Amino acid sequence: MTAPVVLLERPAEGVALIRINRPDARNALNMEVRKLLAQHLTELADDAATRCIVLTGNDKSFAAGADIKEMAGAGPIEMIQRGTHKLWRMIAACPKPVIAAINGFALGGGCELAMTCDIIIAGESARFGQPEVKIGIIPGGGGTQRLTRAVGKYKAMKICLTGELFSAREAFDMGLVSELVPDAEVEKRAVGMAQQIAALAPLAVQQIKEVLLAGQDASLDAALRLETKAIQVLFASQDQKEGMAAFIEKRKPKFQGK
């Protein structure tokens, strides 16, 4: 594998796996990697054969932050022209569930990348952090905002203001990590969970993601209205009829995303 981002063969039916592959740079996120991630996720969003996506790195690093050498000499106009914020939005906008499978370091932009995903599976020795303050900047890929929504103001303030790293166990305990597993089982568990999700009704899965994300920034009343409309719309789907018929007939449903 020589490309910095590689879309691997499907590890299971309905599942695609994207691997960041810059081992010499601890999978640092340069512009090429960011663009390829956005490209792959955009393409997979329109691929009917893909129902769930796994995003991973290697056993040493998920992604150890932005590529500092690439940005050290940049000015504000150049940073605007790079449009990094647009790429982050493209990555986060994938309508299909994305599972981050994390071994090693998930720091700075790597931690932010993980937080654009919907589920985070971490190895027991993984390390997280937002150390940007140590090099004179702030988290710029959603770190100050997504982290606060995930773990609360006081934990987020400590993490961002000190720049200290924290363990996967700490991340799990504060609600940043969905599941903690032995290091050697991270990718296998993530693929297994993706396969489990891919076997379910695709329209319902996508509606769950959409409503959950939209509702977290709305009032409870508005969010409940979104949920109500979503479930009502799903009663127009073939998958709803198939799923309930299969339940009544005590058989496995065959969902088609229709």
* Domain span including residue 206: 202-249
Q: What's the distance, CA 124 to chain centroid? A: 19
The token duo for 4 is: 């910095």
Does any domain span residue 55?
Answer: yes
Catalytic annotation, pick one of 25, 63, 64, 66: 66
Is this model's pTM higher than 0.85 or not?
A: yes
Looking at the structure, tell me whether residues 232 and 128 fall in a common domain: no
Looking at the structure, tell me whether residues 178 and 216 fall in a common domain: no
* 66 is a catalytic site residue: yes
* 14 is a catalytic site residue: no
* 106 is a catalytic site residue: no
Does any domain span residue 238?
Answer: yes
Catalytic annotation, pick one of 112, 114, 126, 194: 112
Looking at the structure, tell me whether residues 206 and 192 fall in a common domain: no
H-only helix segments in 97-218: 109-116, 143-151, 153-162, 168-173, 186-198, 202-215
Looking at the structure, tell me whether residues 213 and 190 fall in a common domain: no
Q: How many domains does the chain have?
A: 2
Segment 174-201, tens digit of pLDDT: 999 999 999 999 999 999 999 999 999 9
Last residue of a domain, one of 172, 198, 224: 198
Does the pLDDT value for residue 46 go beyond 60? yes
Does any domain span residue 98?
Answer: yes
Instruction: Report the distance separating Cα 149 and Cα 143, nearest Å.
Output: 10
Looking at the structure, tell me whether residues 156 and 39 fall in a common domain: yes
> What percent of the chain is modeled with pLDDT above 70?
98
* 227 is a catalytic site residue: no
